[in-house]
Amino acid sequence: MNKPSTEVKVLVVDDQPLIVEQLCEFLESQGHPCVPAHSTEQAIERYQADVSIGLVVCDLHMPERDGIELMRALKEVAGRHRVFEAIMLTGRAEKQDVIRALREGFADYYQKPMDLDALLEGVRRQEQVLLERRGSLEDLGSLNQRLQDLAESIDDLYQDLEKARGQGVHRRASDAEETEGDLPPAFEKLSPRQLEVARLVSKGKTNYQIACELGITENTVKLYVSQVLRLTHMHNRTQLALALTPSSSPVHQRFTTH
């Protein structure tokens, strides 16, 4: 009895079209949709184009770029937000090649000619590993979002407290002196705490120095800096510092002359 079809696609890579065709036909008959590729370059293109690909079955020895180079390229494409599992096929199972492949990230390997039932078992085993990794990645993303929401809630509470004390960001004389003019429009949406961190960044202070000055942890400072960069649509601390530094300032001139 065949296993019900899965949404996880298998990228089958080999420079011999007949092998690719046979493997795809067999795996698809067992409920595993496949994407064929006859070279490393074609495999990379098809992996980039189809986010449903989560398993890779590829030959180790191929012309131009071998299976290990393919693994490196796919990991670069995948980045931190996409995961896959890979199985290596080889007609020459030299010990050093197998060791290199496993170190690079291949989960398993099979000697050619393959025992198709054994390969099927390996594919299904790696599919379960993949699904568990995807679940962990989703849980991590959810946790990060919850931390972000919590930080924003704390910002809102801080802002409400400042307003209740009559010390809103536009009412404080010290803040007015620090800005040396009106705030750039991009900074008007920041909470008082976020703006405070942004000003300290603009003065060239490190995360550690900011943490000491504000009485918070360095990790919290990193979170605030990340929020400020996201809300102001800036790419780095230098761009942030320039935005809050008057053009007549020696600091501004030092950055812009390089």
pLDDT digits (tens, 9 = 90+) for 21-41: 999 999 999 999 999 999 999
Same domain, 134 and 175: no
Share of the chain above pLDDT 70, in %: 74
9-13: strand order across its sheet: 34-37, 9-13, 53-59, 85-90, 108-111
What angle (nearest 5°) sits at the alpha carbon of residue 221, between those of residues 218 and 223?
115
pTM to 2 decimals? 0.53
Distance CA 20, CA 15 (A): 8
- pLDDT at residue 179, as a whole number: 43
Write out the two tokens for 213: 């000055």
Average pLDDT, the chain: 80
Asked if 52 and 131 sit in the same domain, the reply is: yes
The predicted-structure confidence for 216-239, as pLDDT tens digits, reads as follows: 888 888 888 888 888 888 888 888
Instruction: Give the CATH number, domain containing residue 170.
Output: 1.10.10.10
**Per-residue pLDDT tens over the stretch 40-57:** 999 999 999 999 999 999
Q: Which domain holds residue 53?
A: 9-139
pLDDT confidence bin for 175, thresholds 50/70/90: very low
Q: Is residue 144 part of a domain?
A: no
- Please, which residues have CB within 8 angstroms of residue 110's CB and are 6 or more apart in sequence? 87, 88, 89, 90, 118, 119, 122
The domain total for the chain is: 2
Residues 71 and 177 placed together within one structural domain of the fold:
no
**Count of Cβ atoms closer than 10 Å to residue 201 Cβ:** 22
pLDDT value of residue 165: 56
Name which residue leads in pLDDT, 157 or 188.
188
- What is the rounded end-to-end Cα distance, in angstroms, of the chain? 69
- Do residues 20 and 134 share a domain? yes
DSSP three-state, residue 118? helix
